[in-house]
Structure 1
């Protein structure tokens, strides 16, 4: 396999790959210090790295908090509100998938279900 040829330990029975620290450090040396993340609309491309600063929402928190309702477990309505809020402000450059975890959705499909928000 690709990992074995690179020096990683592969357990085909359990389908686990163990990559040692040195292999990771060597791979990181070959990465670029900056790149452009290009979405479907190329006019919305985002430069990452170098001296560029980008802002995004945190990804994956189980809870949300606001002044009216306080701290609570996230739900799909909160998720949708956070996405709309982020899209409104031009200082938020990009969004990840899980701006909060909508706990009422099944965990095994939650990450996909949120694309319909």
Structure 2
């Protein structure tokens, strides 16, 4: 840890400018990605057609979609927990450099993969 502090001090004392990014824009972008990923989870639950409603009972149609609903709830809660953890972590960050920005982008990519995982898992049931 002291190595990092010494390195930062040497960089600052040498007059090297480290570009930083606006923290609020990064947080807003991350919030948008989370909200879109959470919205896409809902789209995986198919809406029954008119023929399905006319030929089957409504409760039967809903019972067939129970695994999809369970998958939606679990995936939504996992994504919400990741979003809350992201908020807590970003509260501790004072400046965002290029390295942290790219780490955040890769992290958001893996959160978006939760929607794909949800689709795969619900397809098995």
TM-score, scaled to structure 2: 0.23
TM-score, scaled to structure 1: 0.24
Task: Choose 1 or 2 for highest CA Rg.
Answer: 2
Q: Which structure: greater strand fraction?
A: 1
Q: Which structure: greater helix fraction?
A: 2
